């Protein structure tokens, strides 16, 4: 018991050190957001301010359209993630568990599409969306994000599903459910960790996506938070670093919240991963 | 499935027997297609024209003037010839291949180590570390670049300050952006730092699927941790590691934002181009869209060549029946 | 439990789609809408002017509304390219004066009648050059900014500098005085090694130039005797008075940050640098016009500025909006905000405008942006300052480069 606890304490220490190293830049961002302006540019870096200020956060929140842009980002990203993960999960089941002609081609397409440099697609995509009046519209951005989230999600979810042993599906099918029903009933909880990881990735990628949102959305009332953030950097004059860091901290919060909500599901599999012969 | 269906059919009325059987078979056969059609339709509707347009553009001379008049000049394979004949292209390609190899190895190895660590720690440490990883993951790239620049800047960067204080050497006003090696080294740390969370969390999620009994059985048998990893854990991690490797190759090969913003527009030159930057500079800054399309397609070719081994394994894996 | 999650997800998606499509619908309703792209400098600097111009336009054109959409300098051209491809450009666009030539040459803008705009006969030379191509006018100068010196009055006093320098020689001497007893890393005159805006000012001061035309072709001119004199003067000033990195540009770090840290006695840049010199030195900050090597003359300042143009697929009423936005009264408002107005007859005596009495501008060549993006001038400067090449060698190589790039190689 004791040596076990000692090794565990040892690993815990390693984890804390790693945490400090990884998070340092983020810590720097957050601490800068609370520093008064003169401390931000001072020659001797200070770890954190002894006179923290929330002026930058207030300045960031008071910028016009902040809350509107929060709403837009949430609508776009949540819709994208839910639809993409849902459709991708079904497609992944098909690719992992069924045999049909064209299967290999479809799998290769899923990875092939991701190999295209996105920079090359911006203008043609804009032209297509313009034709269908999807420019300057949230739906246009949702459709765009979905086309990038889907191949990745299908490709990754297939990998998680492949791992799940066939015996479990066959056990469910004896119950009389349809093949698809068995898959969904059995695979959903077992693939939960994979679904979580994939949906967090889809969430973050869509949340932080910039160039397509910038090009497609014109009205400030329709833009996303990443575009809102870019206004802090785009002027030819002085950049308000404090407000930029405060704004960045604010944009990171929903992601953290989303993750905290779903992170328990990752560990779920640890106790449920038993294969009963 | 067939068993259950068969009994149902046998129990059914004689008149309905044949009809229900054939309808069932049709429905059964069409299930996988039904599952992939929504995905195919969504992607096809949006990316269909852009993909066709990309190929068409690569065969045209299409600059700003042509963009405005909506008409390009057909030049056949001239764009490809010009790119393949450009020494800068080949140097950049080599540099990018090396860069990708270094980044992908570092990301996958470190990510797996972090995932293995996550399994071994107490619940509070796990939450702390995964929370930290997600914070890193959630930081917008543009902001991460700014922070990186600050930490390493010439005037008052924290890295110079700490290294000098720790007596590693005199780093007072050391310019980390003076040499190409140093510049790309910084870009590597930034990219790996940003990519680590996804790999660590995905591998950890996959580890969650490792049956605890098998691990414990192997450990009771007295197997060393290294052997336990290779024989029990690694086979289960294989699919996810293949996925992550193939994705990492694709992303690191085409990476653009980090090198472009960190090295800065004023220090980007052919000597430190990476493929993503090369595409942007040659195609879009010079508004030569035909050439940009040609470079995009060549990049597609290169990246598929680099990842073909992993993709092949991934496609073959889980070959059912 | 699972079905509840499922239902919640469906509801969320449905709500999302409804919300998203609701906002898509409205855009089709407004037919008479003028779309204007201005940079965010206007949003933070003079929003009232924008609002009053919009009101004026709407009064003169009943039934029309004006939608001003603010852009970033970093990606507004990419957006513009996309709208050009999709044929739904804005009706008015603000372009940087160094960005204009390339787009004019490609036919991106409608031709304008110069005489309909206020003070057009007196437009500042540097700005007017960027707004015309092939003898036709495609843009209207909007405003400009020059460069001058921001300095620490307390340090000058401490070093015994009684009056401001009126020649380059005096400036150098003042720099040397400031260097006495200064701490490690302090720059009496902070100039980034690759700050070509400052370096080229010296070139033009001695009568040189970056490039000239001859028989319809561009020829790089940095290797001429006058240009080399200018580059040498710059090199000498830098080595004597600047401790900045020889390989860094003028935004990494920002000079005003160096100043705020107490590491600079003088910084060179636009007049708005005083915004960001830090609370510590705010009371001890003032500005002066940089002197030429000829006593009593100012050093030519780079005239950075913006033009307004009407894209080729935009509504021609955009020209009317531009007329209102660059009218004499509008320009006076911009002037009051610290900018340089677009015409010589409007120039006042603010320090910003005095600095613009002598100005220089980049060659108005279609491929000029390729020279900038290729960092030809920056590389030349770092080669000169690090001593890798002599001034003559670096200038000759850069000149050849510029010749081939400007002629479209």
Those of residues 109-148 in B touching chain C at CB distance below 8 A are none
How close C382 comes to chain B (CA, Å)? 11
Alpha carbons C178 and B113: distance in angstroms, whole number: 55
Chain B residues with CB-CB distance to A196 below 8 A: 205
How close A50 comes to chain B (CA, Å)? 18
pLDDT above 70 as % of chain A: 89
**pLDDT higher for A145 or A99?**
A145
Range of the domain at A112: 65-272
CB of B266 less than 8 A from some CB of C? yes
DSSP classification of residue C182: P
Asked whether residue A89 is assigned to any structural domain, the reply reads: yes
Chain B residues with CB-CB distance to A199 below 8 A: none
Instruction: Assign domain B77-316 to a CATH class.
Output: mainly alpha
β-strand C264-269 against C217-220: which pairing, if any?
unpaired
**What does the domain layout of chain B look like in residue ranges?**
2-58, 77-316
CB of B284 less than 8 A from some CB of C? yes
How close A23 comes to chain B (CA, Å)? 6
A-interface mutation test, from C72, C98, C259, most A Cβ less than 10 A away: C72
Instruction: Please give the residue of chain B at the shortest CA–CA distance from A44.
Output: B156
DSSP, collapsed to helix, strand or coil, labels residue C291 as strand
Tell if the CB–CB gap between B285 and C107 is shorter than 8 Å: no
How close B141 comes to chain A (CA, Å)? 8
pLDDT over 80 (residue B153)? no
Domains of chain C: 29-145+304-360 (3.40.190.10), 148-302+365-406 (3.40.190.10)
pLDDT over 90 (residue B162)? no
A83/A198 same-domain check: yes
Those of residues 227-246 in A touching chain B at CB distance below 8 A are 229-230, 233, 244-245
| pLDDT tens-place string over residues B84-124 | 999 999 999 999 999 999 999 999 999 999 998 998 888 88
Query: Tokens 């195919």 belong to which residue?
Result: B40
pLDDT over 70 (residue A119)? yes
A36/A88 same-domain check: no
Instruction: Please give the residue of chain A at the shortest CA–CA distance from B236.
Output: A163
A114/A208 same-domain check: yes
Alpha carbons A195 and A203: distance in angstroms, whole number: 12
Those of residues 109-128 in A touching chain B at CB distance below 8 A are 111-117, 119-121, 123-125, 127-128
Tell if the CB–CB gap between C185 and B173 is shorter than 8 Å: yes
Phi, psi of B58 (to 5 degrees): -65, -15
A2/A102 same-domain check: no
CB of B39 less than 8 A from some CB of A? yes
| pLDDT tens-place string over residues B256-301 | 989 998 888 778 888 899 999 999 988 888 889 999 999 999 999 9
The number of distinct structural domains making up chain A is 2
* Residue A267, pLDDT score: 53
Sign of the Cα torsion C300, C301, C304, C309 reads negative
> Are the C-beta atoms of residues C402 and C210 closer than 8 Å to each other?
yes
Chain A residues with CB-CB distance to B58 below 8 A: none
How close A181 comes to chain C (CA, Å)? 14
Distances (CA, A) of C41 to A152, B74, B250, C44, C310: 39, 42, 38, 5, 20
Q: What is the mean pLDDT of chain B?
A: 83
Asked whether residue A59 is assigned to any structural domain, the reply reads: no
CB of C275 less than 8 A from some CB of A? yes
pLDDT in tens, chain C (409 residues): 455 555 556 665 666 666 665 544 444 444 689 999 999 889 888 999 999 999 999 999 999 999 999 998 888 998 999 999 988 899 999 999 989 999 999 999 999 999 999 999 989 877 888 899 988 999 999 999 888 899 999 999 999 999 999 999 999 999 999 998 888 889 999 999 999 999 999 999 999 999 999 998 999 999 999 999 999 999 999 999 998 888 888 887 889 888 988 889 999 988 888 888 888 888 999 999 999 999 988 999 888 899 999 999 999 999 999 999 999 999 999 998 888 999 888 888 888 888 888 888 888 888 998 898 888 999 999 999 999 999 999 999 999 999 999 998 6
A47/A92 same-domain check: no
Alpha carbons C308 and C313: distance in angstroms, whole number: 15
A10/A81 same-domain check: no
Distances (CA, A) of C332 to A155, C298, C340, C345: 60, 24, 9, 11
* Residue C17, pLDDT score: 63
pLDDT band of residue B61 (cuts 50, 70, 90) is: very high
| pLDDT tens-place string over residues A222-271 | 999 988 888 887 666 777 888 888 998 898 888 888 877 777 665 543 33
| pLDDT tens-place string over residues B132-142 | 998 898 888 88
A94/A145 same-domain check: yes
Chains touching C, CB cut-off 8 Å, 3+ pairs? A, B
Structure tokens at C156: 């000058």
Distances (CA, A) of C254 to A237, C52, C277: 10, 34, 11
* Residue C196, pLDDT score: 94
pLDDT over 50 (residue B11)? no
pLDDT band of residue B319 (cuts 50, 70, 90) is: low
Select the residue of C253, C312, C373 nearest B155 (Cβ to Cβ).
C253
Tell if the CB–CB gap between A11 and B117 is shorter than 8 Å: yes
- C285 Rama class: left (phi>0) / alpha (psi -120 to 50) / beta: beta
A105/A202 same-domain check: yes
DSSP, collapsed to helix, strand or coil, labels residue A63 as coil
Select the residue of A38, A139, A239 nearest C278 (Cβ to Cβ).
A38
A149/A245 same-domain check: yes
User: Max Cα separation, chain C?
Assistant: 85
* Residue C54, pLDDT score: 95
Alpha carbons C159 and B250: distance in angstroms, whole number: 59
Tell if the CB–CB gap between A112 and B140 is shorter than 8 Å: no
Alpha carbons C51 and C370: distance in angstroms, whole number: 36
| pLDDT tens-place string over residues A206-222 | 998 988 999 999 888 89
A175/A264 same-domain check: yes
A141/A198 same-domain check: yes
CB of B317 less than 8 A from some CB of A? yes
A124/A202 same-domain check: yes
Chain A residues with CB-CB distance to B147 below 8 A: 25-26, 28-29
Select the residue of C87, C102, C184 nearest B64 (Cβ to Cβ).
C102
Q: How far is CA C203 from the centre of its chain?
A: 19
Alpha carbons C407 and C409: distance in angstroms, whole number: 6
Chain C residues with CB-CB distance to A123 below 8 A: 81-82, 85
DSSP classification of residue C70: E
Interface of chain C toward chain B, CB-CB under 8 angstroms: 78, 81, 84-85, 87, 102-103, 105-108, 184-185, 194, 245, 247-249, 251-253, 257-258, 261, 263, 312, 369-370, 373-375, 378-379
Beta carbons within 10 angstroms of residue A62's beta carbon: 9
> Are the C-beta atoms of residues C91 and C65 closer than 8 Å to each other?
no
Please list, residue by residue across A89-101, b when 16 or more beta carbons sit within 10 angstroms of its beta carbon and e when fewer do: bbbbbbbbbbeee
Chain B residues with CB-CB distance to A94 below 8 A: 31-33, 35-36
Distances (CA, A) of C13 to A149, C18, C90, C161: 16, 9, 33, 70
Chain A residues with CB-CB distance to C85 below 8 A: 123-124, 126-127
* Residue B34, pLDDT score: 85
How close B180 comes to chain C (CA, Å)? 12
Asked whether residue A194 is assigned to any structural domain, the reply reads: yes
Those of residues 249-278 in B touching chain A at CB distance below 8 A are 250, 254, 256, 276
Instruction: Please give the residue of chain C at the shortest CA–CA distance from B146.
Output: C252
């Amino acid at each position: 018991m004791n040596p076990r606890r000692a090794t565990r304490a040892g690993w815990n220490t390693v984890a804390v050190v790693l945490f400090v190293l990884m998070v340092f830049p983020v810590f720097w961002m957050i601490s800068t957001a609370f520093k008064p302006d003169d401390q931000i540019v001072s020659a001797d870096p200070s770890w954190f301010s002894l006179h923290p200020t929330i002026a930058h956060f207030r300045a960031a929140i008071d910028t016009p359209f902040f809350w509107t842009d929060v709403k837009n980002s949430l609508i776009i990203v949540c819709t994208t993630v839910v639809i993409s993960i849902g459709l991708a999960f079904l497609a992944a089941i098909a690719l992992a568990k069924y045999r049909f002609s064209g299967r290999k081609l479809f799998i290769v397409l899923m990875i092939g599409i991701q190999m295209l440099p996105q920079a090359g697609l911006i203008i043609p995509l804009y032209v297509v969306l313009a034709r269908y009046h999807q420019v300057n519209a949230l739906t246009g951005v949702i459709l765009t994000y979905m086309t990038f989230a889907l191949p990745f999600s299908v490709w990754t979810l297939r990998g998680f599903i492949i791992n799940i042993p066939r015996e479990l599906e066959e056990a469910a099918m004896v119950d009389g459910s349809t093949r698809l029903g068995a898959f969904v009933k059995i695979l959903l909880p077992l693939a939960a960790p994979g679904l979580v990881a994939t949906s967090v990735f889809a969430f973050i990628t869509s949340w932080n996506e910039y160039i397509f949102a910038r090009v497609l959305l014109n009205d400030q009332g329709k833009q996303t938070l990443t575009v809102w953030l870019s206004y802090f950097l785009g002027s030819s004059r002085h950049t308000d670093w404090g407000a930029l860091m405060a704004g960045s901290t604010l944009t990171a919060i929903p992601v953290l919240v989303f993750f905290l909500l779903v992170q328990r599901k990752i560990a779920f599999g640890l106790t449920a991963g038993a294969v009963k012969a | 499935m067939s068993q259950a269906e068969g009994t149902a059919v046998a129990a059914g009325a004689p008149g309905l027997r044949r009809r229900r059987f054939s309808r069932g078979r049709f429905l059964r056969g069409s299930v996988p297609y039904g599952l992939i059609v929504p995905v195919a339709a969504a992607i096809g509707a949006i990316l269909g024209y852009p993909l066709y347009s990309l190929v068409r553009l690569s065969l045209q001379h299409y600059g700003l003037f042509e963009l405005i008049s909506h008409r390009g000049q057909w030049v056949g394979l001239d764009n490809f010839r010009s790119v393949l004949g450009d020494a800068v292209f080949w140097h950049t390609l080599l540099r990018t291949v090396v860069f990708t190899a270094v980044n992908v190895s570092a990301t996958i190895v470190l990510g797996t180590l972090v995932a293995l660590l996550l399994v071994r720690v107490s619940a509070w440490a796990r939450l702390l570390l995964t929370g930290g990883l997600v914070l890193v993951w959630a930081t917008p790239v543009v902001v991460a670049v700014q922070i990186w620049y600050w930490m390493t800047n010439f005037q008052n960067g924290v890295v110079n300050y700490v290294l000098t204080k720790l007596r590693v050497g005199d780093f007072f006003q050391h310019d980390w952006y003076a040499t190409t090696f140093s510049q790309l080294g910084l870009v590597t740390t930034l990219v790996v730092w940003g990519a680590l969370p996804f790999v660590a969390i995905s591998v950890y999620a996959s580890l969650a699927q490792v049956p605890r009994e098998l691990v414990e059985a192997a450990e009771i048998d007295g197997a060393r941790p290294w052997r336990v990893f290779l024989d029990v854990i690694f086979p289960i991690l294989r699919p996810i590691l293949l996925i992550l490797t193939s994705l990492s190759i694709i992303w690191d090969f085409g990476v653009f934002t980090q090198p472009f913003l960190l090295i800065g527009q004023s220090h980007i030159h052919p000597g430190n181009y990476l493929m993503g930057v090369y595409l942007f500079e040659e195609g879009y800054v010079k508004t030569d869209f035909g050439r940009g399309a040609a470079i995009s397609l060549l990049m597609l070719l290169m990246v598929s060549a680099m990842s073909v081994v992993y993709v092949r394994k991934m496609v073959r894996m889980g070959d059912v029946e | 439990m699972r079905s509840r999650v499922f239902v919640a997800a469906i509801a969320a998606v449905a709500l999302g789609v409804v919300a998203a499509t609701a906002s898509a619908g409205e855009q089709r309703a407004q037919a008479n809408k003028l779309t204007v792209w201005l940079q965010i400098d206007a949003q933070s600097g003079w929003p009232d002017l924008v609002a009053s111009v919009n009101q004026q336009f709407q009064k003169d054109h009943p039934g029309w509304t004006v939608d001003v959409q603010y852009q970033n300098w970093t990606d507004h051209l990419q957006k513009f390219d996309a709208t050009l491809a999709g044929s739904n450009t804005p009706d008015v666009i603000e372009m940087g004066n160094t960005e204009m030539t390339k787009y004019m040459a490609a036919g991106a803008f409608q031709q304008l009648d110069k005489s309909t705009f206020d003070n057009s006969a007196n437009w500042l030379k540097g700005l007017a050059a960027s707004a015309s191509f092939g003898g036709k006018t495609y843009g209207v100068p909007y405003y400009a900014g020059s460069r001058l010196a921001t300095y620490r009055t307390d340090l000058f006093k401490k070093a015994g500098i009684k009056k401001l320098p009126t020649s380059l020689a005096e400036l150098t001497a003042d720099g040397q005085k400031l260097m006495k007893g200064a701490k490690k890393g302090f720059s009496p005159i902070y100039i980034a090694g690759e700050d070509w805006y400052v370096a080229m000012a010296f070139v033009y001061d001695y009568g040189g130039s970056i490039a000239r035309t001859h028989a319809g072709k561009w020829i790089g001119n940095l290797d001429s005797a006058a240009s080399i004199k200018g580059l040498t003067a710059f090199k000498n000033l830098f080595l004597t008075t600047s401790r900045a990195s020889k390989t860094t540009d003028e935004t990494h770090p920002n000079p005003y940050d160096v100043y705020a840290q107490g590491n600079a006695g003088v910084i060179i840049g636009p007049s708005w640098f005083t915004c960001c010199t830090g609370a510590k030195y705010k009371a001890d900050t003032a500005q002066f016009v940089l002197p030429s090597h000829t006593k009593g003359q100012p050093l030519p300042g780079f005239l950075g500025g913006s033009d307004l143009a009407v894209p080729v697929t935009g509504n021609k009423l955009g020209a009317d909006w531009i007329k209102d936005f660059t009218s004499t009264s509008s320009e006076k408002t911009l002037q009051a905000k610290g900018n340089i107005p677009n015409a010589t007859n409007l120039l006042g005596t603010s320090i910003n405008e005095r600095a613009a009495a002598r100005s220089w501008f980049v060659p108005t060549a279609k491929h000029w942006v390729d020279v900038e993006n290729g960092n030809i001038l920056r590389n030349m400067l770092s080669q000169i300052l690090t001593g890798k090449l002599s001034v003559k060698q670096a200038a000759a190589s850069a000149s050849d480069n510029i010749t081939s790039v400007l002629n479209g190689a």
